[in-house]
Structure 1
Amino acid sequence: MKIARFRAGNRTAHGVIFGEEIAEIRGSIYTSFRITDNRHLLSDVRLLPPTDPAELWGPGLNFVDHLEYAGSVFGQEAMPVPERPQPWRKGRNALTGTLDPIIIPKDVAGEVHYEGEAVAVIGKVCRRIPAERAAQYILGYTCGNDVSERAWQKDDWTFWRAKGADTFAPVGPWIETELDPQQLDLLVRINGEEVQRCNTSDMLFGFAEIVSYISQQVTLRPGDLVFSGATGVTRAIAPGDTVEVDIPGIGILSNPVIAEFEAGEG
């Protein structure tokens, strides 16, 4: 089942995708709901980030083929293979939806890169759960882009702006509830050119391990988002580009890239 969050006119609602239509639901996507007869064409609504999360989490380095590149970002040799997840929070303010622009700040110090990822959506309050039960607390999965400014990532002590600047967390287009999260192909395209391809089977720590690890000390709540981590060597994006994160079985997250002044920002 594909569940989306959308705006039609002045109303915001959740709905279930049926082909080119979305059927509104009544109730909560986290407990129980019914599908209504109120339907909209997808072309007539604005898709929003699939949830309104309290927190967004990254797992730390989570693909072997990203370790060498990650080391180069910090001016080091390849990073060591981690023995456990190294979770970190991505700014809630960075969240944006499909078709919304990624805004390149006017004072960036270096290149801004895409990082296409799969994203787990928490469905229940989650505290101190073992990995073997973690799947019961995950509603489904969506596409995400952990946009990153590389100079800030190297020079700052935290990722507060390198990965947390406004619009640096596109997520969408919707949640898929019925798939194997550790067997997902993931592709990234810039202006139609494929620049990244991987499979979540290569994650060092699967979603169940990451969610369990975070929950030992931090309570995860319905709607919270947990990213998979990035793979391979990424490259810069620039105003005028369109970035697509494509996970067959889920959908395509697509975002144009613009400069800050183009967005009317002061």
Structure 2
Amino acid sequence: MKQVMLGLVLLAAAPAMLRAQKQEFVRYQAGKTVSYGRLDGDQIVQLRAAPWLGGTPTGVRVARRTATLLAPATPSKVIAVGLNYQTHLGERSAAAYPGLFAKLPTSIVADGDSVVLPPDAKNVHYEGEMVIVMGKRASNVSRERAKEYVFGVTTGNDVSERDWQKADLQWFRAKAADTFGPLGPVIVTGVNYDDLLLETRLNGTVVQSQRTKDLIFSVAEIVSYISRYVTLEPGDVIYSGTPGTTQQMKGGDVVEVVLEHVGTLRNPVVQRR
């Protein structure tokens, strides 16, 4: 009888258990075709649409090594949170609410693409970050329910020109210039977004390292706060903030941002003349 009851309990819990399993999703090009897909070992299972739009398998599989991974989302909005780790704030006090700014969808590039520095960019820094990917339309959602609207997380680099940040009225070009938003390579679901190790490497040397549990404003708090003022759509992305200190990148450098359970985002830096 006990075994039967245990079996019924496990059966009832199965859907929740399946939802909690880690899954990896990509956007990729195979030949001339661009698709969303789900990773299955060394293969990509093609989906009919973005996974956050209920994309189901088409029955087509491609070898991962034969596909080119693209930025895993094409968001309508790219929002970012500043000063969200005390180690980045230094001796300054944390704000009472998340400090937000916008990047542009045109700033996004994929894993392996170059971060191209404009000729007059003289002080460009890396900012390794966890990036939140929205799964459902969110408007004025509570903090308690905010995670229900999150699809997953990926890895990002909030490239920032520090001199422009100080000199300009807005952070428009400092944060949103073309190629200043590396993203990817995969979106992961079924992991604890609130406790992942985030590291940044510059030319192979670790220059940032902290866990996302140290975010001043958590994933739920960020999503809830933004949704009070701006409606978040499925596929929109939110850069959640960078830890520690940052330093200048130069042409010829390679920046790698590593997020636990998600993977490595690697981008060479090129100085445009």
Match of 2:215 in 1: 203
Q: Which moved more, 1:127-136 or 1:42-51?
A: 42-51
1:83 and 2:105 aligned: no
Match of 2:234 in 1: 222
Match of 1:140 in 2: 152
Which structure 1 residue ranges, 5 or more long, are not aligned?
69-77, 262-266
Q: 1:140 to 1:232 in 2, by over 3 A?
A: same
| Alpha-carbon distance in 1 for matches of 2:268, 2:65 | 18
Count of residues paired in the alignment: 251
Match of 1:71 in 2: none
Measured on the aligned residues, the alpha-carbon RMSD in Å equals: 1.2
Structure with bigger gyration radius:
2
CA drift of 1:11 comes to: 1.0
Match of 1:156 in 2: 168
1:185 and 2:197 aligned: yes
Return the letter of the residue paired with 1:218. V
* Greater share of residues in helix: 2
| Alpha-carbon distance in 2 for matches of 1:32, 1:222 | 11
1:120-150 deviation digits (Å, cap 9, x = unpaired): 0001110000011011100000000000111
1:36-92 deviation digits (Å, cap 9, x = unpaired): 442222222221111110111112211111113xxxxxxxxx433111112111122
Moved over 3 A (4+): none
| Alpha-carbon distance in 2 for matches of 1:124, 1:23 | 22
Match of 1:99 in 2: 112
| Alpha-carbon distance in 2 for matches of 1:80, 1:12 | 45
Return the letter of the residue paired with 1:62. N
Match of 2:40 in 1: 18
Match of 1:9 in 2: 31
| Alpha-carbon distance in 2 for matches of 1:125, 1:53 | 12
Return the letter of the residue paired with 1:4. V
From 50, 56, 68, the equivalent of 2:78 is 56
Q: 1:38 to 1:255 in 2, by over 3 A?
A: same
Q: 1:28 to 1:50 in 2, by over 3 A?
A: closer
CA drift of 1:93 comes to: 1.5
1:116 and 2:134 aligned: no
Which structure 2 residue ranges, 5 or more long, are not aligned?
1-22
CA drift of 1:35 comes to: 2.7
Return the letter of the residue paired with 1:126. A
1:166 and 2:156 aligned: no
| Alpha-carbon distance in 2 for matches of 1:115, 1:252 | 14
Q: What is the percent sequence identity of the aligned residues?
A: 40
Match of 1:74 in 2: none
